[in-house]
Amino acid sequence: MTSTRDQARIFDAIEEVLLRHAPPLAVRRDTPADKRNVHLWSEKELEIAGRKRTEVYFAGAIVQKGYVGFYYMPVYTDAERRGLFAPELLPLLEGKSCFHVKELDDKRLGQIEDALERGLDLYRQRGWI
């Protein structure tokens, strides 16, 4: 299990990378305030698959019990989005869009940064930002 200190370090690093994308994305934090989290949203009126929306979730991080969850929604845009992830990230993927990060080095953080950039490009191409 990842120590609280390690979780704080991992969260801080991922949060720093996420916040580089605000703007154009909006930052939100859930409550309770004692649960460390950060989320990025595109706040724009648009239509996706015939449904009107005023926002689209992009990515976020939450300190969970034993790991930091890194949530990445561009993977839902199409089946080929798994190609956004470096091979070292894929073993951390639980489900379709949540990575359980228990260890973080510069290489893996760079891979997260790269995935965020690619996801942002995708959202821009679709007119979601």
Percent residues over pLDDT 90 in the chain: 51
Total domains in the chain come to 1
pLDDT at 17 over 90: yes
The arithmetic mean of pLDDT across residues 16-43, rounded, is 89
pLDDT-based confidence at residue 6 (cuts at 50, 70, 90)? confident
Q: Which domain holds residue 29?
A: 4-125
Is residue 61 within 8 A of residue 69, CB to CB? The reply is yes
Residues 47-97 pLDDT 10s: 888 889 899 999 999 999 899 999 998 887 765 666 667 778 888 888 888
Helical axes 4-19 vs 106-125, angle rounded to 10°:
40
- The reported pLDDT for the residue numbered 92 is 87
Is residue 120 within 8 A of residue 40, CB to CB? The reply is no
Which CATH number belongs to the domain containing residue 61 in this structure? 3.90.1150
